[in-house]
Structure 1
Amino acid sequence: MAARDTFLGWVGKDVTAKDGNLVFEEFEPKRWEETDVDIEVSHCGMCGSDIHTLSGGWHKAEYPYVVGHEIVGRAIRVGSKVTHIKVGDRVGVGAQSDSCGDCEFCNSDNETVCDKFVQTFDSTHLNGDRAQGGYADHARVPGAFVINLNPYPNIPSELLAPMLCGGITTFTPLKKYGAGPGKKVGIIGLGGLGHFGVMWAKALGADEVVVISRSKSKEADAKALGADRVIATNDEPDWPTKYGSSLDIIVNTADSPTMPFTDYLRLLRPLGTLVQVGAPDGNMPAWNGSPLFMKNRSIAGSLIGTRVDIREMLQLANDKGVKTWANPFPMAKVNDAIKAFNRSEARYRIVLINEKHAQKI
């Protein structure tokens, strides 16, 4: 039997990895199949999901991990059954790396809800091998979920990588629920997800974009990103009444178990929709149903986006000049980057740059 390939990457071996204790060593990618693409990783965004996984926040950790699912790089090996990628192309991979490809959801471009959803890391490929991510020199990914990035020349790789998870997580619900002319949009939380939400809502043409935050400490940033105003919930005790029934769509990036969820609902106009994208480690806070059913408001959830969504988002960014607020770190200093992330210093997305590969793309 032929020996398995090995790649080099930053491996989380125990719970201390969440504090910045990854180890650079060999790991095994999935076994090569002619449906795969090998990527020479040049950039990888740091997502909150990475830290949740390394800490075991969402479920019991299954070390070792190579995390990272905002991957950009150069295709260096392309399986014979992959037709949309060629060697040398700039390519990207987001948080999903495979699905069954044959169910009703996959056949209707809704592959994110396929029962055989495969995450780019912290998951198992359809062939039974462990999925590993992009904090590495190379990544091997099923080609069907590798995005050809050549059509988006106006987006530098450093700014594009975080769009592949953080960006698409907020773009998808805004597009689905009609953010655009005639609509007033609220974004709860101005962080890695929320800053994208503001920019997408503005690029989609919303009449008004409102940031809902605990304080006005990020008001200057919010307005620089395109927000029209900020509601500071800690500074204005009467905010649920003062701003009640004023927003058509709210995207909630917050994941605190103590957030004032009932009051957030009160901000919606009748028939409005609140979309939850923030994923807490534990349960959502308890909330009162009256504001929901008295005005026929809706609550929805949204998970990343499909390949169709990703391409539409990237075209919008390419055409409208949407730019991630990126905080770059050399990938060799990934442990310093994790520590900065844990200190909430991202402002607003940390991007790891693999300097030995970045100049080739």
Structure 2
Amino acid sequence: MSNTEYKFEGWAGFGPDSVEGKLKFIEYEPKQFAEDDIDMKILYCGICASDISTLSEGWGELKDMWPQVVGHEIVGEVVRVGSNPQNGIKKGDIVGVGAQCDSCLQCHYCNKDKENYCSKGMTGTYNGKFSRTSEGSKSYGGYANYWRGPSHFAIPIPKELDPAEAAPLLCGGGTVYSPLIEHGAGKQATNVGIIGLGGLGHFGVTLATALGAEVTVISHSARKQKDAEELGAKHFLITGDDEAKAFKGHERSLDLIICTSNAPDMNMPAYLSLLRPGGNFIFVGIPEGGQVPTIPLFAMVMGNVHIGGSLIASPQTLKDMLQLVADKKVKSWIQKWSMDKVNEAVPSMIAGNARYRYVLVNEKNGGKL
């Protein structure tokens, strides 16, 4: 298959029941190698909720995209470099790849370090098809031994960082860091709320704190309050089953709210009451099935508050975030699993057992459990 001394093999789903622990180890054909590509020997790969929503078809039918090798929080060692590498990458470097692995690299947004909003559409690190090179080839993710793709989207991992801890930052961390930066966390937005303390939410707390913001975690129960405080949160709001009642006395206390929850039935007027005039409520969590909370126009107008969304981070944003994490010594809360136990790890993730990110370790390639 691939014209290399190593094989491209990974854990693939063949249908929605694959999330039940039915991933199969297969050999597959990667994209044709281009001169700006690299091959990476995978050491670590985070398990992201997006992996599960894709495999389960919660975000839509995959149809002709099966089999599917997911994973877009990949860290590994560069073992092959084309004649036109980007980011100064060379063989032996430790690099990471997040949720995007290509774009047109020519449009207005690509030229403004916003490749994640490419006018011609981004190529996902899995469940995508390449168009700039190797047109029509499928993209394959990180539950695998090797990864191939454009070096523009391979991010050098600072030497100060544990590469296993860096892995989940490449999607989960970047997804919350991007709106935090865009909306001035620690600067204009001195008081930041994080809804949900899960995989994304725990990064929201640590990164907003590292940026100098005072953080309030908003959660359904007190179960994770101690964790929130250890992560750096100064305040903890418990919604219970009545957000409007829970938020009494806290109106207009926040400048920015990042919603990592994917609940479709949120009491949006209550949440918007927490924002000061000019404040922003940003969704990064997406409910499966497409149902979204009702947007209250009256509350938006009367409070001069704004509702928006944010996608993954661009390559430059990921570089900036990793440097901040290195400089501020921000720690990711991870639990490691041998990649050979992926069929145990994925169901455990679905069961909500992660505190707060699972990372698959490719021991055969030198990853350390």
| Alignment TM class, shorter chain as reference | over 0.9
What does residue 156 of structure 1 align with? 162
Residue correspondence of structure 1 range 160-175 to structure 2 within 5 A = 160-175=166-181
Aligned residues: 356
Contact 2:2/2:30, CA 8 A, preserved across alignment: no
Contact 2:42/2:365, CA 8 A, preserved across alignment: yes
**Bigger mean CA offset, 176-185 vs 247-256:** 176-185
**What is the deviation of 1:155?**
1.0
What does residue 66 of structure 1 align with? 69
Q: Deviations over 1:33-76 (max 9, x none)?
A: 12210000000000000000000011112311000000000000
Among 237, 262, 266, which residue is 1:255 paired with?
262
Residue type of the partner of 2:71? Answer: G
Among 95, 103, 114, which residue is 2:99 paired with?
95
| Rounded Cα–Cα distance in structure 1 between residues aligned with 2:306 and 2:296 | 13
- SS in structure 2 of the partner of residue 29 of structure 1: coil
Pair 1:81-2:84 in alignment: yes
Residue type of the partner of 1:146? Answer: A
Judged with a 3 Å threshold, the aligned counterparts in structure 2 of structure 1 residues 74 and 3 are, in CA distance, closer, same or farther, namely closer
Q: Deviations over 1:62-93 (max 9, x none)?
A: 31100000000000001111142111110110
Among 207, 210, 233, which residue is 1:200 paired with?
207
Residue correspondence of structure 1 range 209-228 to structure 2 within 5 A = 209-228=215-234
Question: Aligned-pair RMSD on alpha carbons?
Answer: 1.5
Pair 1:352-2:363 in alignment: no
| Rounded Cα–Cα distance in structure 1 between residues aligned with 2:67 and 2:50 | 16
Among 323, 326, 336, which residue is 2:331 paired with?
323
Judged with a 3 Å threshold, the aligned counterparts in structure 2 of structure 1 residues 250 and 11 are, in CA distance, closer, same or farther, namely same
Residue type of the partner of 2:96? Answer: G
Q: Deviations over 1:298-331 (max 9, x none)?
A: 1121111111110110000001011110010000
In the superposition, the TM-score normalised over structure 1's length comes to 0.95
Q: Deviations over 1:175-222 (max 9, x none)?
A: 11011056100000000000000001110001x210001111100000
Among 89, 94, 118, which residue is 2:123 paired with?
118
Q: Deviations over 1:238-282 (max 9, x none)?
A: 123321111000000011111222321111111100111001112
**What is the deviation of 1:125?**
0.8
Pair 1:106-2:110 in alignment: yes
Among 176, 181, 184, which residue is 1:178 paired with?
184
What does residue 292 of structure 1 align with? 300
Pair 1:267-2:274 in alignment: yes
| Rounded Cα–Cα distance in structure 1 between residues aligned with 2:298 and 2:262 | 22
- SS in structure 2 of the partner of residue 339 of structure 1: helix
**What is the deviation of 1:359?**
4.8
In the superposition, the TM-score normalised over structure 2's length comes to 0.93
**What is the deviation of 1:223?**
0.3
| Rounded Cα–Cα distance in structure 1 between residues aligned with 2:303 and 2:210 | 29
In the alignment, structure 1 segments of 5+ residues that lack a partner are: none
Residue correspondence of structure 1 range 16-31 to structure 2 within 5 A = 16-31=17-32
| Rounded Cα–Cα distance in structure 2 between residues aligned with 1:343 and 1:20 | 12
Q: Deviations over 1:97-119 (max 9, x none)?
A: 00001001111111111123110
Residue type of the partner of 1:305? Answer: A
**What percent of counterpart residues are identical?**
46
